[in-house]
Structure 1
Amino acid sequence: MNLLEVDGLGSGYQSIPILRDVSFYVVEGEFLGILGHNGMGKSTLLKTISGEIKATSGTISLGGTDVTAMPAHKRARSGIGFVPQGRRIFPGLTVRENLEVAALAAGKSPAVVDEVLKSFPRLMPILDRAGAVLSGGEQQILALARCLCGGPRLILLDEPTEGIQPSIRAEIIDLLKELGQKHAFAMVLVEQNEQFLSSLCERTYVCEKGRLKEPEFVADGIG
């Protein structure tokens, strides 16, 4: 069954169109990759699906429900989790406080934090550490844990390898595979690293100038 269906989607910033007639679907439990250079519309696509940017045309459906006109916080409550580029953790809050805020925002019991932490052993020794002092890899892992506090059915993950060492990339690949099996969510994964996408995704699109197309051939990745 299709969890996410995007049909003829268009969006942009003020009078500047970015996305043009984008259509695709994501099956329940599937990891779908979107590959492309900077400035091609990848992040805009995720922001439009999450509700941060309004669609100018087309529709977005989650589990058969049209969410195109739904505000971002209601989409989150409906099961769309967004881990944006740059992670957006709260630098002045501890790891645990970041997770508690996420659970509160999602309307979840504080007990969900301890449940989520069972899947993130790397965070356990640093629960009292401020977000600002975490490494790039630790911040990315915290951002994933924070997203899971909302109990998403679909995760939108934007450029997770940005600024992260290759050894941590491998750890994140293993973590995402494990999380996907344990929590049964689907994912739309935006990246410039083709090898990272191919390690996780059965299907991948290339984003070029606000449109999606099937990849022809990628030798060593884009960007």
Structure 2
Amino acid sequence: MNVNLHSFPIHENTVTLSCPSSGPSKKCYVYLVPVVHTKEKSRRDVETALYHLRPQSVFLECYLEPKFYSYFHEGCEQGYAFKIAKALEMEIIFGDICDRSLKTCEDRKLDELRLRYGFEKDNDMELRDMAHDMAFYDVRDLIMITRLWDHAKTRSSIVAIVGEDHIYGMRHYWRLMELGSSRVLKEAAKYEEYIRQHQPPTQLNHF
């Protein structure tokens, strides 16, 4: 269900996206709720969004392994969203990549930059910093939004709780996919495959 966000005191920069869905409504609405990690206002924004929008699913900017369970109950906005979603019996989707996978993507990006610009491995500290930033923001934006897109194709509504620095990039990639660009999905698939080849199998994507 599409909701007029101006009717509720939801974060003013919340982004509404949509795509066709095989679910009963034939369309899924996705709400990107921007948060500043560990800020009290973000906890309030999360609470308002989930109680007012009542989505079918909640998408979190985190990767869960069993040893991290306690993290989601301690007070950060992701943990707060987890607790509310559990209480309201909403599906929870863990959509980010873990630190190991991030390092894998960083190494891949570094190799690409070296090849493109002809840097030697012993003289690329600045290039390594660039690769880290590109992996931390752009690659994660790409992976999270394509995972979100994939989930949205079978659901009716999803609220995604993501850091405000990811909103622009994720919205940009979504718009490209809406316009029919296959390059976004192919690029994401390349990184997903690279992660699978270099990391242990994902232990949990859903709770």
TM (normalized to structure 1)?
0.31
Structure that is richer in helix per residue: 2
Quick check: which has more Rg, 1 or 2? 2
Structure that is richer in strand per residue: 1
